[in-house]
Structure 1
C-alpha cells in the first residue's frame, strides 16, 4: 500500500489535530448516561441569543439558495457598531476561520509565527500546516505576582526576527483566562516592526469587565499591521452556526480576503449574528451569570485547597495536583464534561466553562467526590 505521508505538504505529517470537547450525545451513548452537562468548550450556558435564534429561523425557508457572499447587511451593522468602514470587515466560519485566512495569506516555508506557550491550540496547527516555523515564547511562571501563566510580551518580542510574518496574541487568553493591560499591549505594538502582522484574538472580550482592558478596534488606525478577530460563538451563544469576523485596514482585508472560501458563512448565521448584536439584555444577563459563576467556582476551589489561574473569560483553569486526564475521565463517568489540558502542556490542570449556578454546583460536587476517592 502506498505511503501517502511521503507526498504531503510541508508540516502536515507533524500535525496533531485539534481535539474538540466531547459531545454530550456521544458520552451518553458510550456510558448509558442521561442529563450530562458539558463545561468543556466555553459555550454560553444561557443558550443562544433569543433575537439571533428568531432571525435564524426566518431564513430556513430560503436555504435552497446560496447565502449573500458579501455579508453586506452584517458587515454594515458591524461597521456601525465599531466605527469602521465595511471594507475593514472580513467574515468567517468562526474566528478560527479568519485566523486561518491570515495564516494562508502570510505564512509559508521559511517564515515563522510567534505566540506564547499557553495559547489557543489552533495557532501552532495552522502555522505548521502552512510549513512555517512555530516560535513559542515562555509565558510568565506559575508564581508570577500579577499574571501567572500569562503572555510575556518581552519574551515574545525577543523571538521576532526578519522571517517573522505573524504574531498571535489572545486577549483574554485561552486556556488560561489571563489578560494583557492596555498600556503594555500598546507598547508592544508600537515597538514591533510594522512588517509583522499582529493577530489580536478577542474571542472572549465581551465577557470582560476589567477597567484597564484594551479594545483592539481603537488601535486599528494607529497600527496598519493589526488584525482584530471576534466571534459570535461565545457570549452570543451561536457556536453551532459558526460565525466570526476580523477587523483590519481595508488593504489588509483585501489581501486576506483573497484566500476566503466562497459562501463561507451560511444564511442562518448571517441573520442570527446581525440580530444578536442588538440583544443587549441577553448579553448583560450572560455577563452577570458568568461573574457570579466565577465567584462560585473560585470560592469552592479555595475551600478544596486547589490553585486556579485568575480568569476574566467564561472559563477557569484549575490545578488538581494530579493527572488532569484521569480526573477528566472520572468526571465523564459522573456525566460532567470538562477539558483536560495535557495537550497545552498543563497535565495536572483541567479547564471548566463557567455554567449556570446549578451546573457549576454539579461540577463542584462531582469534582469533590473524585478528588476524595
Structure 2
C-alpha cells in the first residue's frame, strides 16, 4: 500500500460524517455491507467500512480491482445498480457477483472537487433488494458529492496544520538563535561599558569625557536591549522568566533606587513615591525592580509630560500591590487586549525607542511569581498599571512567617 493510499484512508477516517453516511445507506437499502473505497488502476482499498454481514473487510483491506465492479466504474464514471445479480441480464454471468456471492449491489463514483477520480461509495448483500428506480441512487450520488467536499476540506485542514507545525518549529529555531546571540553579546557589551565607565572617571579632557560618557550610555542601553531579548526568548521558549526567590527585607530600598535612577535620566519629570512597609516579602528582588523599571519607563514615555508618575507599593488585603499611575490620553480599547504581547506598542508617527518588550517582560515576571498584571485606563483617571501578588496562596510566593 502506497503512502498516498495511507493518507487517503487517514483522511476518510477523520471525516465524522462518513460513519453516519454508511449507516444511512444500510438502513435505507437493507443491505448489510457498505464501504467507502479508494480505487486505483490496480487496487480497491477500503477506507471506511460498515459490515454486519461478516464480509471480512476492514479499513485498509485491499482487493484486486479487476475482481470488482469498481474497475468498470473507474473506466465509465457511471453508477452501477443491481437488484438481483443472478437474474440481471448484464451481470448474471459476471465473475464479480459469483466471486463475492452477492445479489444486490450499488456503487457510485466519488470524484474530487477538481474532477479527479477518488473511488466509490458501495453497498452489497447476498439477498436481493429493490434498488433500481428508487431514491437510493440519487441519495448515494448526493453522498458522493458531499464526501468530495469533505475530503477537500479535511485535506486543506491537514495542510494548514502541517504548515502551522512547520512555522512553530521555525519560530522556535529563530527564538533559540536570538537567545544564543543575546547570550554571546553580553560579554563584549560588559567589556565596553566597563571600559567606558573607567574612562569617564580617568579622562581629564571634557570633550573626551563626554565621548566616553556617550559610549557608556549607549553600552548600557544595548545591554538592556540584550537583557530584554533574552527574557523574551526565555518566555517564548517555555522556560519562563527565571527567578531567585528569597526573603527581601530591602525591597523598598530597591524600588526607591530604580525610581531615583529614572528620575536622573528624566530630571524634568516628577516621580512620586508612596512605599509602605513591605519588608520580608518573598520574591525575586531584581526581577520585581525590573518590573517597576519597565512600568515607570512606560509611564514616562506615554503619559502626560507635564503630569507626575505616581508609584505605590503596599501589602493590602492579602496581596502585595505595586502600581504605577500616570495621567494623559487613555489607552485605546483595541490596544488593551494586546498590551502585554511582545513587540506591542501604541501606533505613532514618532519613532520610538526600544523593542516594545517592556510590558511583555513585566507581565512574564508577574506570572513567574504567581501574580498578575492589571491595567485600568480612562480619560478622567489616566492609566494605572498594577502588579498583584497574592500572599500565602498555594504555589505563590508569600511573606515568610514572623519569627517567634
TM-score (norm 1): 0.23
**Larger C-alpha radius of gyration, 1 or 2?**
2
Higher strand share: 2
